[in-house]
Chains A and B, each alone.
Chain A
Amino acid sequence: MSHAHTEDQAQSAPHSHKKHYLIIAAILTVVTGIELGIPFLKNVPSIWVPFQPVWVPLLLLLSVGKFGAVVGEFMHLRQDRSIFKILFISPLALALLCLTTVTLMSIVHFEPFGKGYAATAVDLRNGYTPPSDGPKCDPPLPDDQFKAAYAKAEGAGFETGKKIFGEKCVACHGPAGGGMPNLGLNLTDTCYKYGGTFKDLYQTVALGRADGRMPSQAAALKSEEIRQVAYFVRSLRGKNVPGGQPCVGEPAKD
């Protein structure tokens, strides 16, 4: 654009920035193209593998660049008054700080419901093992020892098991253990989807079932507490509370 041409135009009309905007848009398109290409590099292990640590930071960097180009050039913030910069950038910084903190929290530890760790679908797909820093579960006791312990718990009115059930299980299995639609199964009928022996019940509580929708309690409860829950659940058999969910699984064999 020649200088003479600009002067020919009406004095009040500023000259066009069309060319500048087209260049910015072209750069943004190319950068987006590069971003989109990165996932496809997975198919080229000779490039993907050696530069593995680079991909995520590179993607973030390109994204920040695009963000800056749109705000700085399309929105004119780079050349605009500093009051606009203050108004926009200070809340943005606050938002980024919050975002970073939350992301770090999510990576480092996740305990939304207090003590305990529920296996997630992602964990299970990656081969879930209870966290190593949490308390480990004992293997299930032999059947005769279980029966004796059950009798003892029965004598105490299943006090411990009932209390833990009220804290951890009722959200899905209902206050009386009758189950809830699309959530926990009915524990008061006589059939079991994952087995009704002491050993089965213990393992269900300890390790979780149904891809983690029945979450593992291995880290949240001590082995003895898990046993007490199993005794209480066993005591619900055949109570058939009103409004319970329909029977799922096989009739109990023991």
Chain B
Amino acid sequence: MSAPTAELLEAAPDHGHHQTVENNFLGLPNIKLAMWAFLGSECMFFGSLIGTYFFYHDHSLGGPLPQDVFSLNITSISTFLLLTSSLTMALAVDSMKQNRFPPAVKYILTTAALGAAFVGFQIYEFSEFVLEKHLTPQTSLFGSTFFIMTGFHGAHVTVGVIWLLMMAALISKKKLVPGREATNVEVMGLYWHFVDIVWIVIFTFVYLLEFIK
């Protein structure tokens, strides 16, 4: 997160061209290239967390078990929240590319609100698991692997929300390097959509599969 932020705060001469971006030798924006490389590594990161969950969650030595704690209602709401936030994020990038900044800020703030709501539901879910259903990371292999996996995803969403809010403020105060605004928002969008696809996988493989076994 810090790298693109530093990038956009960096002073650069405005040559008056539209969509001036810092290019690398491939003629592509450096931050976009870096973000795709980072997301590739994130695939492996979440792949290993989800793999660990699959390997261990069936081998707890005691309850509660997934089917005792999972609630399809809360998870469905979270899923729709994140899915909608991906749409608003895409619309924000679309507006930025047309140099229409005020609607873009509106879409970015909506995305942030939806993301924050998702985190809120996750906090609610976690506290219910711990306080009422007595599932903690120390309880069992299911508890450990579940909280590590979903907790890291929630942390990613939280980072994304902070990034979105910062970006909205920077656009409103015209603090972005002229010509690079759209690329900055696009790169943030890539991160946000990635967080959404991780949830698509967790939602199906971790939650829904439990209900159709």
Contact = CB atoms under 8 A, between A and B. Distances in A.
B205 interface: yes
B18 A12 contact: yes
A118 interface: yes
Contacts of A236: none
Interface in A68-119: 70-71, 73-75, 81, 83-84, 87-88, 90-92, 94-96, 98-99, 102-103, 105-106, 110, 112, 118
Contacts of B84: 25
Contacts of B48: 95, 98
Nearest to B28: A81
A215 interface: yes
Contacts, number: 173
Interface in A1-39: 9-10, 12-18, 21-22, 24-25, 28-29, 32, 35-36, 38-39
B128 to A, nearest CB: 20
Contacts of A74: 86-87, 89-90, 189, 193, 196
B97 A62 contact: no
B124 interface: no
A99 B50 contact: yes
B63 interface: yes
- Chain A interface, DSSP helix/strand/loop, else mixed: helix
A112 B97 contact: no
Interface string B133-150: 000000010000000000
Contacts of B193: 70-71, 74-75
A152 interface: no
A84 B33 contact: yes
A67 interface: yes
Contacts of B87: 21-22, 24-25, 74
A56 B43 contact: no
B72 A36 contact: yes
A105 B33 contact: no
A151 interface: no
Interface string A207-249: 0001111010000000000000000000000000000000000
A84 B37 CA distance: 8
B54 interface: yes
Interface stretch (A120-128, A131-139, A140-148): A120-128
A62 to B, nearest CB: 7
A63 interface: yes
Interface in A39-68: 39, 42, 55-56, 59-60, 62-63, 66-67
Contacts of B14: none
B204 A18 contact: no
Given A21-B87, A84-B33, A92-B43, A215 B61 contact: yes
Interface stretch (B4-12, B75-83, B154-162, B165-173): B75-83
Contact of B99 (A12, A81, A87): A12
A103 B212 contact: no
A87 B79 contact: no
Contacts of A99: 47, 50-51, 54
B83 A59 contact: no
B204 A59 contact: yes
A38 B207 CA distance: 12
Interface of A: 9-10, 12-18, 21-22, 24-25, 28-29, 32, 35-36, 38-39, 42, 55-56, 59-60, 62-63, 66-67, 70-71, 73-75, 81, 83-84, 87-88, 90-92, 94-96, 98-99, 102-103, 105-106, 110, 112, 118, 120-122, 125, 210-213, 215
5 contacts: A17-B90, A36-B208, A42-B211, A83-B36, A120-B60
